[in-house]
Structure 1
Amino acid sequence: MRPKTLVRTTAIAALSTVTFQSAPALADAGSLLDPQTRALQMQQYEEDRTKTILELQPFRTTQTAQGADGTSYELVTLNPGANSWFLLTVSSEGFWSSTRKFHLELADPERSNLTLVAGAEPELVIAGEATEFRCAPWSGRGPELDDAQYRGLPFAPICDERLFLRNRVKGNSTNREAVADFLRDNVVFGESLVNMIKGSFYEDAFMNSGPVIEGADAGETVKALGKAQLDNAPVFRTSFNFDLDGAEGGRVEAGSWYAISDIPGVYASAMQPGMISRDILNRSGETNGLDGVERGADVYLVAYDLEQFELGYELGTDHPRVDWSPRPSGAGRNYRIPGPDGIDDSAPLVRSGMLSPAKTERVVGTFASGFKRSHGAWRLTDKAYTNYGHHYGFISEGVVFSKLQPDLATIFVLDDGSIDMRTWTEADNALLPRIRYARQNGVAVIEPDPATGVGVPGSQIRSWMGGNWSGDADAKLRTLRGGACMKTAGGRQFLLYGYFSTATPSAMARTFQAYGCDYAMLLDMNSQEHTYAAVYTHENGDVVPHHLVRGMAAIDSKRRDGTPIPRFVGFPDNRDFIYLLRK
């Protein structure tokens, strides 16, 4: 249960009256605002104009105070329903006047809340169910906030480690990624050049094709998930970088599920699309046919039993951006505003590119979550010229960085922890006060059949531009891809992440269809950096990564003694990611 903070906000920058109640769950984020303020902030959110990142937060509440020395303080709770992120502004007047802004994060938003109390010497109050801690990290000869900024940690603890100051840091990227960013940002026709490089050098570069092992013992399968619908289920050798219960030497039966050793609730499976049942592959009018290469290309999947895990989403230090994608043009672009949502920067909010230290003890898995802004919009079809190109939306800790667009595939988490994946609709915008995390990527790979409710290939699977599937400069769709799906099995909900060593959207759809997915979406593509996925064990206080495929280990950093520092967990990254925490 989240402790409840009651804030009576009389105006956007007005003094608020705060009282505490222990234990009851937080109400709808918008219900904490008076009707006038809520209407005003929703108008700011919806207006088609240049604005600030704060004006994109329709449910924010604001508390102010002024000290005896004239220093003013403002604490904005960015989304009270998430109760996680806050923006503190400290402004002094006089000859040495200054205004400083600090992005704060509660270390334990489930059991505490943060408020600003007025007085001659204003303070922050972190209150739990039976405790109250006060601090003024801006005061004293060596202010704690100054020290926290000077240390430069992505998450610098303050106020007896009850809060983190989120500091702006540079996210890690590989040389190839850095070069691609440089070309896109600084070289005329840079995007075309990057696509040429991808088409010339990286097509099928990460394809695997494991040798089939006849007559080998498949090991113990995981009955709750069942088996994929295959005509041919041989045993073959995989490149999983973790051990599976009942699988000797990395040999698995195609389409079967295996428990990952020492990580309860997480399972793995592998297959090749050419093994899929003819009853699926021969269904006409649903997908394009599979070519000989992708029919034999390995697919690796990991499944999370969502009864045991929470899901979250964190932005990278740089990606996805919030400005315009270069793809929309004409009616799909408004040149009077800096981005589709009226912003081109997230400042003063800080994007960390890594998991909060308060969550590392519970982390079980991460995977790269989606396209950069440059690829996250439509170039052609109706979507390119409506809703400003349908830029993919994303929300973290209840904070809107880019609005969710209708008709796009969306994975999201509500304030009660429930997880869903579906095509977003205008009617779903009513859920905005309850959304804690959301990420959009293109359109559905698998979606429920309206008549039967069974998952079938999405309506745009065969349309390169209609699905915004991307590929190389010659529109060849077969490449390394990552995707995710939701599956219901044995009355339980599972989240599956799929790594396709080389595949078209059609091969992805047939694979997820064979595994009985209810809904599936594309995430990212073209390199193991963009399709990175890892699960974790916890050993002697360290978080130890075990990658979906061995090649991903090269993306992690290392300590001087050679032990790994896991991406997304041990250091900031320039890309965004989805993470799973044990409940």
Structure 2
Amino acid sequence: MRAFSRFRLRLTVTTAALTLAGAAAALPIEDRLAELRAAYDAEVAKNVIDLQLYRHSQEAVLPDGKTKVELINLNPNINSWFLLGLGEGNGRSWFHLENPAPDDRALSLEQGADGPEILITEGKRTHRCTPWAGEPSMLSEARRANLPYAPVCGDRLYLRVQTGGSYTSLEATSQFLRDHVWGGDAIVTWVKATLNKDKYALLDGELGTGGEDDAAAHGPPPAKVRHAEGQRPLVAQYHTFDLEGAEGGMATGLWYPVEGQDGVFVSALQPQSIAQEVMDVPGANWLDGVESRAINYFVAFDLSRFDLGFARGTDHPRLGWSPRPPAYVRPRGMPGPDGFTTAAPLVSLGMASPYLTDRITAAFTAGFKRQHGAFRGGPYRDANYGSHYGFLEHGVILSKLWPGLSTVYVTQDGEIGMKTWEESDYEKMPNLRFARQNGTPLVEDGKPGPYVTQWLPGNWSGSANADLRTLRAGACLIEQGDTQYLVYAYFSTATPSAMTRSFMAYDCTYGMLLDMNALEHTYMGLYSFNDGGGIEVDHIMRGMSQLDKRGSSGVIPRFIGYPDNRDVFYLIRKE
């Protein structure tokens, strides 16, 4: 029998969480944790609740003496997501609640004089709520409101309501082929490799030259280029951002502030301009003439000003098996790599929470679908059931994180990191607020990742010979003194090697692939509010506006104004 790699998750939770978990069961704390861990590890069909190692459950009974009420805090360290269950067995109804003030607002289930109550505590104030009471109840009215986030309990909590996510015609057609046509994935791959090849390539000629006088007074360091000072080529602007000092074009590799967006900077780079000292570092392939001339755009966010969030889409990434790993990695009776194919009773919405809207600055598509989010070859194919890319939202594990994979993460105290996940990183798990994995690193410690030139081990999609040079998106981290920048990158046509060299030119300490092949897969919007209070959207590429919607009061942005089928990263200004 093939041996699978197994991480040893250290059960290091906070004292408060341990106390809660122990109080939730008639077991000693150590036995309770062992019980939770056994359910987590079991190679059997299960549900997403079984994956939550730190969950705390409270139970009560309604005055009828038979209807059970259960409140589950899915991760007390994060204190954001709760499940409210009414009834028992197959007749149980679940409601997914979100706490919009997890640092200030505590929830508990108490047995009051007239029956169970949810106590919502904020400092010295306590609010009591019985959302199941009445006919119709607060919960049933909230579900009928046709809102993805329905306020309950005096607007102190939100009920997350399952809603279909928006699809573009391309996205819907591709998904139909994959789901319903024999060999559909091969058809989609052929279309991308032929009809879509270089469809989005930006290969305009130069507009003249510019220099360091155009550079931002603040922001990341400029890219290392082969041009003399003052002789950087000017490249065209196909984005829709208003930049300071870029009226005649963008000098390649320099950063320009976005007007009205403190802490946000934009740069453009053609790989043919990258300094030879960067190109000479071993570990990446040569670049052909097309990707060398392609214009690529980079948007940097000063992380001293922003927090980062993540939301799984209504449909993607899915939770079942990817067809990429061989069948022998699947334990018998396991419907997916985590033991389930649906997040139910949790509700995934593919959008930022509405109480964050007034602080939202940007959003971008987060990563690959499950279809492509596992390994067909290389060392990770046979490790951990094929090493499906993991993800975690509001402290809740939706799919396990696996060693060796590039990971963006956000901790409970606001640390934003990007690294190759290791066994030792599981100590972070109790206090992870968000995490998303995507393949293997493009750049690690400022150098090419170990599989940049190896197509199957790197899981890059396409051909190692650049037969599928295509539109790609990625992200990297830049560290400049005490300041850290998160960079979103749009490559109009590139191989992983071109992405790697570009990230290295900007002194990225770590870089990774996100998604590829279409504008909807590489979407990035930057948000601002007009004088009338309406939201306005600028995009990293013209044409992305078709992915937003319009209403009577103006634009309704993707990932902000309505649920989407894809997952998303979003940046919000710190309070």
Report deviation, 1:489: 1.0
Mapped contact 1:313–1:578 kept (Cα < 8 A): yes
Match for 1:125 among 119, 128, 132? 119
Report deviation, 1:221: 2.2
Match for 2:138 among 135, 144, 169? 144
Give the distance between the partners of 2:265 and 2:564, measured in 1 at CA: 26
Q: Tell me the residue number matched to 1:546.
A: 538
SS of match in other structure, 1:550: coil
Mapped contact 1:222–1:256 kept (Cα < 8 A): no
Q: Tell me the residue number matched to 2:276.
A: 278
Q: Tell me the residue number matched to 2:81.
A: 85
- Scaled by the length of structure 1, the TM-score of the pair is 0.91
Give the distance between the partners of 1:506 and 1:537, measured in 2 at CA: 34
Match for 1:314 among 311, 316, 319? 311
Mapped contact 1:413–1:419 kept (Cα < 8 A): yes
SS of match in other structure, 1:437: strand
Give the distance between the partners of 1:483 and 1:9, measured in 2 at CA: 39
Cα deviation code 1:67-106 (max 9, x no counterpart):
221222100001111110000001189xxx9421100001
Match for 1:509 among 493, 500, 510? 500
| Matching residue's letter, 1:507 | A
* Aligned residue-pair number: 552
Give the distance between the partners of 2:127 and 2:502, measured in 1 at CA: 53
| Matching residue's letter, 1:420 | G
Give the distance between the partners of 1:314 and 1:333, measured in 2 at CA: 27
Q: Are 2:199 and 1:211 aligned? A: no
Give the distance between the partners of 1:468 and 1:371, measured in 2 at CA: 11
**Structure 1: runs of 5+ lacking an equivalent:** 17-32, 449-454
SS of match in other structure, 2:92: strand
Give the distance between the partners of 2:190 and 2:464, measured in 1 at CA: 5
Give the distance between the partners of 2:177 and 2:171, measured in 1 at CA: 10
Mapped contact 1:330–1:385 kept (Cα < 8 A): no
Give the distance between the partners of 1:469 and 1:296, measured in 2 at CA: 21
Q: Tell me the residue number matched to 1:25.
A: none
Give the distance between the partners of 1:9 and 1:419, measured in 2 at CA: 28
| Matching residue's letter, 1:99 | R
SS of match in other structure, 2:87: strand
SS of match in other structure, 1:202: coil
Report deviation, 1:11: 7.0
Give the distance between the partners of 1:145 and 1:335, measured in 2 at CA: 39
Q: Tell me the residue number matched to 2:3.
A: none
Q: Tell me the residue number matched to 1:465.
A: 456
| Matching residue's letter, 2:192 | K
Q: Tell me the residue number matched to 1:533.
A: 524
Structure 1: which 4+ aligned runs deviate by more than 6 Å? 472-475
Report deviation, 1:142: 2.4
Cα deviation code 1:308-329 (max 9, x no counterpart):
1111110000000110000111
Match for 1:57 among 47, 52, 56? 52
| Matching residue's letter, 2:443 | I
Percent of aligned pairs with the same amino acid: 43
Counting only pairs closer than 5 Å after superposition, residues 374-385 of structure 1 correspond to structure 2 as 374-385=371-382
| Matching residue's letter, 1:64 | E
Structure 1 pair 346/13, CA: closer, same or farther in 2 (3 Å)?
Answer: farther
Q: Tell me the residue number matched to 2:7.
A: none
Query: In terms of mean alpha carbon deviation, does 544-553 or 472-481 score higher?
Result: 472-481
Give the distance between the partners of 2:394 and 2:551, measured in 1 at CA: 31
Give the distance between the partners of 1:459 and 1:421, measured in 2 at CA: 16
Q: Tell me the residue number matched to 1:328.
A: 325
Q: Tell me the residue number matched to 1:200.
A: 194
Q: Tell me the residue number matched to 2:222.
A: 227
Counting only pairs closer than 5 Å after superposition, residues 465-504 of structure 1 correspond to structure 2 as 465-471=456-462, 476-504=467-495
Q: Tell me the residue number matched to 2:422.
A: 425
Give the distance between the partners of 2:415 and 2:215, measured in 1 at CA: 31
Q: Tell me the residue number matched to 1:154.
A: 148
Give the distance between the partners of 2:175 and 2:44, measured in 1 at CA: 28
Mapped contact 1:86–1:103 kept (Cα < 8 A): yes
Q: Are 2:107 and 1:111 aligned? A: no
Mapped contact 1:411–1:439 kept (Cα < 8 A): yes
Give the distance between the partners of 1:525 and 1:196, measured in 2 at CA: 15
Give the distance between the partners of 1:236 and 1:474, measured in 2 at CA: 28
Report deviation, 1:363: 0.8
Cα deviation code 1:428-455 (max 9, x no counterpart):
112111111100001010001xxxxxx0
| Matching residue's letter, 2:287 | L
Q: Tell me the residue number matched to 1:26.
A: none
Q: Tell me the residue number matched to 2:570.
A: 579
Mapped contact 2:43–2:331 kept (Cα < 8 A): no
SS of match in other structure, 2:287: coil
Query: In terms of mean alpha carbon deviation, does 292-301 or 484-493 score higher?
Result: 484-493
| Matching residue's letter, 1:499 | Y
Give the distance between the partners of 1:286 and 1:354, measured in 2 at CA: 37
Mapped contact 2:454–2:464 kept (Cα < 8 A): no
Q: Tell me the residue number matched to 2:8.
A: none
Q: Are 2:171 and 1:170 aligned? A: no
Q: Tell me the residue number matched to 1:20.
A: none
- Scaled by the length of structure 2, the TM-score of the pair is 0.92
SS of match in other structure, 2:77: coil
Mapped contact 1:64–1:118 kept (Cα < 8 A): no
Structure 1 pair 324/215, CA: closer, same or farther in 2 (3 Å)?
Answer: closer
**Structure 2: runs of 5+ lacking an equivalent:** 1-13
Mapped contact 2:18–2:29 kept (Cα < 8 A): no
Superposed CA RMSD: 2.1
Match for 1:36 among 23, 31, 45? 31
Q: Tell me the residue number matched to 1:265.
A: 263
Q: Are 2:64 and 1:69 aligned? A: yes
